[in-house]
Structure 1
Amino acid sequence: MSEQELSRPAADVASSNPAMTVLRMLWADKLAFASVVFLLVVTFCAIFGPALLEEAATKQNLRGRNAPPFDFSANWLFWLGGDALGRPLLARIIVAAQNTIFVAAGAVVCSLVIGTALGLIAGYSSRTASQVILRLADVIMSFPSLLLAVIVLFMLQSSAWNLVLVLAITRIPVYLRTSRAEVLEVRERMFVQAAKVMGASNRRIVFRHILPVVLPTLVTIATLDFAFVMLAESSLSFLGIGIQPPEITWGLMVAQGRPYLTTAWWVSFWPGIAIVLTTMSLNLLSNWMRVALDPGQRWRLETRRKRNA
Structure 2
Amino acid sequence: MTMTDARILTEETPKRSGAFSRWLSMLWADKFAFFAAIFLLIVLLCAILGPYFLGDAANKMNLRGRNAAPFHLRHGIMYVLGADALGRPLLARVIVAAQNTILVAAAAVCASALLGSALGLVAGYSRRSAAQWIMRLGDVIMSFPSLLLAVIVLYMLEPSVANIVLVLAITRIPIYLRTSRAETLEIRERMFVQAAKVMGASNTRIIFRHILPVMLPTLVTIATLDFAFVMLAESSLSFLGLGIQAPEITWGLMVSQGRPYLTNAWWLSFWPGLAIILTTLSLNLLSNWMRIALDPTQRWRLEMGGRKNG
Q: TM-score, normalised by structure 1?
A: 0.94
1:217-241 per-position Cα deviation (integer Å, ceiling 9, x unaligned): 0000000000000000000000001
Take 2:227 and 2:63, find their aligned partners in 1: how far apart are those partners? 37
Take 2:46 and 2:39, find their aligned partners in 1: how far apart are those partners? 11
What amino acid maps onto 1:301 in structure 2?
L
The structure-2 alpha-carbon separation of the partners of 1:138 and 1:67, relative to structure 1 and needing over 3 Å to count, comes to same
Residue aligning to 2:52: 51
Take 1:266 and 1:49, find their aligned partners in 2: how far apart are those partners? 21
Contact kept, 8 Å, 1:234 with 1:251, in 2: the verdict is: yes
Take 1:176 and 1:139, find their aligned partners in 2: how far apart are those partners? 12
The structure-2 alpha-carbon separation of the partners of 1:118 and 1:14, relative to structure 1 and needing over 3 Å to count, comes to closer
1:258-307 per-position Cα deviation (integer Å, ceiling 9, x unaligned): 01111000000000000000000000000000000000100000111111
Contact kept, 8 Å, 1:179 with 1:214, in 2: the verdict is: yes
Residue aligning to 1:153: 154
TM superposition shift of 1:73: 4.0
Residue 304 of structure 1 pairs with residue 266 of structure 2: no
Contact kept, 8 Å, 2:116 with 2:174, in 1: the verdict is: yes
- For 1:1-309, what aligned pairs fall within 5 Å after superposition? 17-309=18-310
1:89-147 per-position Cα deviation (integer Å, ceiling 9, x unaligned): 00000110010000000000000000000000000012411110000001100110011
Contact kept, 8 Å, 2:65 with 2:75, in 1: the verdict is: no
Take 2:63 and 2:74, find their aligned partners in 1: how far apart are those partners? 18
Take 1:65 and 1:74, find their aligned partners in 2: how far apart are those partners? 11
What amino acid maps onto 2:46 in structure 1?
C
Take 1:25 and 1:15, find their aligned partners in 2: how far apart are those partners? 15
What amino acid maps onto 1:216 in structure 2?
P
TM superposition shift of 1:17: 2.0
Contact kept, 8 Å, 1:68 with 1:80, in 2: the verdict is: yes
Moved more, 173-182 or 47-56: 47-56
What amino acid maps onto 2:96 in structure 1?
V
Take 2:293 and 2:147, find their aligned partners in 1: how far apart are those partners? 32
Take 1:16 and 1:183, find their aligned partners in 2: how far apart are those partners? 33
Contact kept, 8 Å, 2:196 with 2:206, in 1: the verdict is: yes
Q: How many residues are aligned here?
A: 299
Take 2:18 and 2:190, find their aligned partners in 1: how far apart are those partners? 29
1:185-226 per-position Cα deviation (integer Å, ceiling 9, x unaligned): 000111000000000000000000000001100000000000
Moved more, 267-276 or 15-24: 15-24
TM superposition shift of 1:16: 7.7
Unaligned stretches of 5+ residues in structure 2: 4-13
Take 1:14 and 1:164, find their aligned partners in 2: how far apart are those partners? 39
Secondary structure at the counterpart of residue 17 of structure 1: helix
Take 2:297 and 2:171, find their aligned partners in 1: how far apart are those partners? 32
Secondary structure at the counterpart of residue 60 of structure 1: coil
Take 2:142 and 2:223, find their aligned partners in 1: how far apart are those partners? 18
Contact kept, 8 Å, 1:14 with 1:21, in 2: the verdict is: no
Moved more, 154-163 or 209-218: 154-163
Residue aligning to 1:7: none
Residue aligning to 1:9: none
Contact kept, 8 Å, 1:15 with 1:21, in 2: the verdict is: no
TM superposition shift of 1:45: 0.7
Q: TM-score, normalised by structure 2?
A: 0.94
TM superposition shift of 1:27: 1.2
Runs of 4+ in 1 over 6 A off after TM superposition: 13-16
Take 2:253 and 2:16, find their aligned partners in 1: how far apart are those partners? 46
What amino acid maps onto 1:17 in structure 2?
G
The structure-2 alpha-carbon separation of the partners of 1:242 and 1:16, relative to structure 1 and needing over 3 Å to count, comes to closer
The structure-2 alpha-carbon separation of the partners of 1:133 and 1:14, relative to structure 1 and needing over 3 Å to count, comes to closer
1:155-175 per-position Cα deviation (integer Å, ceiling 9, x unaligned): 111111111100000000000
Percentage of matched positions with identical amino acids: 73
Take 1:226 and 1:15, find their aligned partners in 2: how far apart are those partners? 28
Unaligned stretches of 5+ residues in structure 1: 2-12
What amino acid maps onto 1:284 in structure 2?
L
Take 2:81 and 2:289, find their aligned partners in 1: how far apart are those partners? 32
What amino acid maps onto 1:277 in structure 2?
L
